Amino acid sequence: MKGKNLRVTDTRPNIIALRLDASFFFERAVRSLDRNHYDKALKYFRKAVEYEPDNPVNHANMAGILSEMGDYQGSNEVLESILKNVNPSMTECYFYMANNYANMEQFEAAEKALVTYLEEDEEGQFLEEAEDMMELLYYELNRPAKLNRIKARQGVVEHDQARLLLEEGKFAQAAKLLEQISGDQPDLLAARNNLALSYYYMGMFEKAKETILQVLQDEPGNLHALCNLAIFYQNEGGGPHLDALLESLTVIVPFQQDQVFKLGTTMGILGRHEEAYRHFRRLLKDGENKADASLYHYAAVAASNTGRYAEAERLWELVKKLDPESETPRFYLSRLNELRRMGRSIEKLSYHYHLPFDEQFKLWEKYGSRSVPDEMKKDPLVRSSFFWALRHGDDATKSQVIQALAMIGDEEVREALGLLLADVSQAPAVRERARAALEGMDVRQTSAFAPLSDVALAEQPLKQGAAAANPQIQAVLDKAFSVMGKRYDTAQQNDLKDLWLEYLDRISPEGFTIQHVEGWAAALEYLTAKMHHTRATYREIADRYGISVSTVSRYARQIDSVCGIKQKIAQRFPSFTERV
- Per the CB < 8 A criterion, the answer to whether 417 and 405 are in contact is yes
Whether residue 20 is predicted with pLDDT greater than 80 in this model: the reply is no
CA distances from residue 407 to 193, 281, 381, 412 in whole angstroms, order as listed:
31, 38, 17, 13
Q: Is the pTM of this model over 0.85?
A: no
Whether residue 354 is predicted with pLDDT greater than 70 in this model: the reply is no
Q: How confident is the model at residue 214 (pLDDT cuts 50, 70, 90)?
A: very high
- Per the CB < 8 A criterion, the answer to whether 464 and 501 are in contact is yes
Q: How far is CA 294 from the centre of its chain?
A: 17
CB atoms within 10 A of CB 313: 18
More confident residue, 454 or 8: 8
- Per the CB < 8 A criterion, the answer to whether 148 and 116 are in contact is no
Q: How confident is the model at residue 378 (pLDDT cuts 50, 70, 90)?
A: low
pLDDT score of 154: 65
pLDDT score of 300: 92
φ/ψ of residue 89, rounded to 5: -85, 0
Question: Which tens digit of pLDDT belongs to each residue from 158-191?
Answer: 787 788 787 777 778 888 889 988 888 888 888 9
First-to-last CA distance in the chain?
A: 99
What's the maximum distance between 2 C-alpha atoms anywhere in the chain? 138
pLDDT score of 453: 34
Lowest mean pLDDT, pick from 50-64, 171-185, 207-221, 242-256: 50-64
Q: At 128, which amino acid appears? A: E
The 3-state DSSP composition of the chain as helix, strand, coil percent (nearest 5) reads: 70, 0, 30
Sequence-separated (6 or more) residues with CB below 8 Å from residue 240: none
pLDDT score of 279: 92
Highest mean pLDDT among 78-92, 278-292, 524-538: 78-92
Whether residue 224 is predicted with pLDDT greater than 70 in this model: the reply is yes
Sequence-separated (6 or more) residues with CB below 8 Å from residue 334: none
Whether residue 124 is predicted with pLDDT greater than 70 in this model: the reply is yes
- Per the CB < 8 A criterion, the answer to whether 231 and 271 are in contact is no
In whole angstroms, what is the distance from residue 473 CA to residue 504 CA?
Answer: 9
Whether residue 278 is predicted with pLDDT greater than 90 in this model: the reply is yes
- Per the CB < 8 A criterion, the answer to whether 214 and 196 are in contact is no
Q: At 498, which amino acid appears? A: D
pLDDT score of 234: 86
Lowest mean pLDDT, pick from 4-18, 333-347, 429-443, 498-512: 4-18
pLDDT score of 576: 57
More confident residue, 461 or 310: 310
DSSP for 383-406?
A: HHHHHHHHHHS-HHHHHHHHHHHH
pLDDT score of 451: 32
More confident residue, 116 or 337: 116
3 state DSSP class of 552? helix
Sequence-separated (6 or more) residues with CB below 8 Å from residue 575: 163, 167, 258
More confident residue, 185 or 112: 112
Does an H or E element contain 526, and which?
helix 517-531
More confident residue, 188 or 508: 188
Q: What value does the mean pLDDT take over residues 103-131?
A: 86
Q: In angstroms, what is the C-alpha Rg of the chain? A: 31
pLDDT score of 567: 59
Whether residue 333 is predicted with pLDDT greater than 80 in this model: the reply is yes
In whole angstroms, what is the distance from residue 330 CA to residue 544 CA?
Answer: 40
Q: What value does the mean pLDDT take over residues 319-327?
A: 83
In whole angstroms, what is the distance from residue 223 CA to residue 249 CA?
Answer: 9
In whole angstroms, what is the distance from residue 57 CA to residue 53 CA?
Answer: 10
Share the mean pLDDT of the chain: 77
CB-based burial label for 256 (10 Å; 0-12, 13-18, 19+): exposed
pLDDT score of 329: 85
Lowest mean pLDDT, pick from 32-46, 80-94, 354-368: 354-368
pLDDT score of 464: 47
Q: Which region, left, alpha or beta, applies to residue 155 given φ > 0 means left and ψ of -120 to 50 means alpha?
A: left
CA distances from residue 259 to 222, 263, 484, 516, 578 in whole angstroms, order as listed:
10, 6, 46, 51, 9
Q: How confident is the model at residue 511 (pLDDT cuts 50, 70, 90)?
A: low
CA-wise closest residue to 250 among 230, 233, 232, 236: 230
Lowest mean pLDDT, pick from 27-31, 79-83, 326-330, 514-518: 27-31
- Per the CB < 8 A criterion, the answer to whether 292 and 572 are in contact is no
% the chain with pLDDT above 90 = 17
More confident residue, 67 or 403: 67
Q: How confident is the model at residue 334 (pLDDT cuts 50, 70, 90)?
A: confident
Q: What value does the mean pLDDT take over residues 238-244?
A: 89
